[in-house]
Structure 1
């Protein structure tokens, strides 16, 4: 059964979290074509990510993609049967090994007891002939004979039991091993079939996309109900520019809009990573040691960064029974009064996050300048002045806290993201406070 042995490099993880959203944002800002068309690049992308399920064929409306699904299901079924057979092989092998150990041990003990028993019986007969009845020597000789006979009897019983287990377990082990090899081969050949089909579609993809585009109608047919629904959605949709406030706080709003959109695309990364984990685990039998932790950390950072965006776009969960009907100036007064509690929370988050980040970098991991600065051994300017390439290339230098699993990803970047999230939240609170003050002053 082919296996996947891929461990995501730490640098690829952090660079991916930065580069992928930037590319996605640039693609999302491209002008939309007047007529929808199938894309060759998107077809290849779907082929690479979901080709085992035939999703690239479904993308171009080709029903031959249905042939991929039963082969993929056969892989999953064969892997499940292979795992059951592997467990049966392990159980049978354990029985065989245990029975063989019992045979080796008991056969030696039985042989020793059989060799000693004639001498012990002779000692008993001599003691009976020379000692008085009931004497200590006779009792000792009798106990020795009884123990030898008991050991002999128990050993022969264990040998018979172990031999019977061997006769049963060895055929079971052979059968289970045969089943394991059979289902393993089924899964292997099914994977080869899918990979071969994907390789063929790699060359056929331009023609598939071309034929799919040729089948598109000259003009999009849209019903009146769908047109009305689109107009309603457009009227209710609020553009990003509508959230940006006037005055000097506008740059804060634009920063948080950018941050919210940036981390939103991390959810797309999670789809790809968990898809890879499922395929790696259930198709190739090679679960990763990094996928879950990578996404766990990513969603934690996304939650922290998106807080300021949620506050700006008013998407936090709240009860609007009394607040919603108020006019703008009254809402501003309420927001001003409750802002005290917000700044207590946001300030606490910012300060504690900064402490956590410094503690994460203060972990003694070599002679890294950042760790020395975080521990307070050197100043910030001294740390920057002494920075050199060794801080990047020396394998003995780790800048701070790392995870405890095999992946050992650095945790200190996430701690600094907590600081960034807290700072953005405080800044958005300042922007909201300024807007409320202006609303109260205007009395609108």
Structure 2
């Protein structure tokens, strides 16, 4: 299989985080049209064509032909990884044995001459003297060392002899599975190339089939679409009801749109991890940037969306008693607890400001090979804290207004 050595440029990463949510927000506000779309079909072909998803989108069951080929690629790559591990183990055995042989052969060759000299020294030593005993011990030690080294080199030669065929077999096995995966991938590429040409006709046929569907089925689909649109409208209305008027409404809208903006980053995460899975398990090319880029993105999303969660009252809290209280009592309690809120938000802002300034001053980057700049992530702490404080001020004004209106009404 061919490998993928693509590393996402930093400017593409930041550009995607900025531009994609804007495009998604615009598209979400456009009137939705039913039916099949050639641009969407081609987009699915590019992103999920390896699984035949473009044909399944058009309700064409020939897309199922992609799945066995795709699963065979995964199987072949798994077998190739096993063969690579076997090759690595066999290569380690052979290389270790060769190192032992290279180290001991000169030592053994030199030991033969050394032992002959020690024997001569022993023969020349006077009987019963200390010199004779020392020469005897030295000779015995040299002979034992020679025996041990000879045994080790014989074992190394045996390991090398046994390991070389295993290494050759593992290499052949790995190459075989790699070729099989490559040929299967070429089959899928051929399928996709043919479908790229046929896709406009496939879309037309899908639309023709949809037009010929029984009226009952069309009515059910139309009813389901209307129900889905109704649920989406209800979700939007449930969020919009939290937006106030006047200057607090400006802050509320700022928090609302900030939350909507970063919510579309989830789509980026799906696409990025889909790419990671395909690159890792189809092309045996795991990336160095997907995981790091996504968890940093989720960190920024968590910070920036805090104000949106505060606006829509989505933060986790224990409201066993709070839920049944009157609006006046809720407002009074919220005014009291806002003290702790502003302590937290102020600390977050001050700490985030220090982190951001330090990271900007030294142009801090990650320790990975990707080396993405860290200072934008640190500034996200500041942005999130500012949005949270502004939303807290808007909430504080709303609670004060609720208390004042209740007292005036009383």
TM above 0.5, one fold? yes
Q: Using the alignment, how far apart are the partners of 2:222 and 2:36 within structure 1?
A: 25
2:100 maps to: 102
1:415 and 2:378 aligned: yes
Q: Using the alignment, how far apart are the partners of 2:91 and 2:337 within structure 1?
A: 69
List aligned pairs for 1:100-249, cutoff 5 A: 100-127=98-125, 131=126, 133-217=127-211, 220-222=218-220, 233=231, 237-239=235-237, 240-249=239-248
Q: Using the alignment, how far apart are the partners of 2:3 and 2:254 within structure 1?
A: 44
Asked if structure 2 preserves the Cα contact closer than 8 Å seen for 1:52 and 1:72, the reply is yes
Offset, 1:80: 1.4
1:241/1:140 CA distance change after superposition, 3 Å: closer
1:223/1:301 CA distance change after superposition, 3 Å: closer
Q: Using the alignment, how far apart are the partners of 1:329 and 1:148 within structure 2?
A: 97
Asked if structure 2 preserves the Cα contact closer than 8 Å seen for 1:353 and 1:415, the reply is yes
Offset, 1:111: 2.5
1:308/1:134 CA distance change after superposition, 3 Å: same
Helix, strand or coil: the match of 1:103? helix
1:140/1:63 CA distance change after superposition, 3 Å: same
1:118-172 CA-partner distances (Å, limit 9, x unpaired): 4443443343xxx3x2113322433343234323322332232222212211111
Q: State TM-score, norm by structure 2.
A: 0.91
1:140/1:440 CA distance change after superposition, 3 Å: closer
Helix, strand or coil: the match of 1:93? helix
1:20 maps to: 20
List aligned pairs for 1:230-269, cutoff 5 A: 233=231, 237-239=235-237, 240-269=239-268
Cα RMSD over matched residues?
2.3
Helix, strand or coil: the match of 1:404? coil
Q: Using the alignment, how far apart are the partners of 2:375 and 2:146 within structure 1?
A: 67
Helix, strand or coil: the match of 1:212? helix
1:34-61 CA-partner distances (Å, limit 9, x unpaired): xx20111111111111111111111111
Offset, 1:10: 0.9
List aligned pairs for 1:45-444, cutoff 5 A: 45-127=43-125, 131=126, 133-217=127-211, 220-222=218-220, 233=231, 237-239=235-237, 240-363=239-362, 400-443=363-406
Q: Using the alignment, how far apart are the partners of 1:31 and 1:165 within structure 2?
A: 72
Helix, strand or coil: the match of 1:314? coil
1:225/1:39 CA distance change after superposition, 3 Å: closer
Offset, 1:4: 0.6
1:261-290 CA-partner distances (Å, limit 9, x unpaired): 100000000001111111111111111111
Asked if structure 2 preserves the Cα contact closer than 8 Å seen for 1:346 and 1:425, the reply is yes
Compare the two structures and name the one with the higher helix fraction.
Answer: 2
| Range with greater deviation from structure 2 (247-256 or 115-124) | 115-124
1:141/1:21 CA distance change after superposition, 3 Å: same
Offset, 1:228: 10
Q: Using the alignment, how far apart are the partners of 1:230 and 1:174 within structure 2?
A: 60
Q: Using the alignment, how far apart are the partners of 2:7 and 2:304 within structure 1?
A: 27
Offset, 1:233: 4.1
Offset, 1:230: 6.0
Q: Using the alignment, how far apart are the partners of 2:219 and 2:390 within structure 1?
A: 47
2:29 maps to: 29
Offset, 1:175: 1.1
1:125/1:353 CA distance change after superposition, 3 Å: closer
Q: Using the alignment, how far apart are the partners of 1:214 and 1:427 within structure 2?
A: 54
1:296-337 CA-partner distances (Å, limit 9, x unpaired): 111011011111111111222223322222332332222222
| Range with greater deviation from structure 2 (297-306 or 136-145) | 136-145
1:5 maps to: 5
Helix, strand or coil: the match of 2:12? helix
Q: Using the alignment, how far apart are the partners of 1:236 and 1:174 within structure 2?
A: 66
Offset, 1:362: 2.0
Residues paired across the two proteins, number: 402
Q: Using the alignment, how far apart are the partners of 2:228 and 2:102 within structure 1?
A: 81
Q: Using the alignment, how far apart are the partners of 2:230 and 2:290 within structure 1?
A: 41
Structure 1: runs of 5+ lacking an equivalent: 364-399
Q: Using the alignment, how far apart are the partners of 1:202 and 1:232 within structure 2?
A: 35
Structure 2: runs of 5+ lacking an equivalent: none
Helix, strand or coil: the match of 1:362? helix
1:104/1:414 CA distance change after superposition, 3 Å: closer
1:123/1:438 CA distance change after superposition, 3 Å: closer
Q: State TM-score, norm by structure 1.
A: 0.85
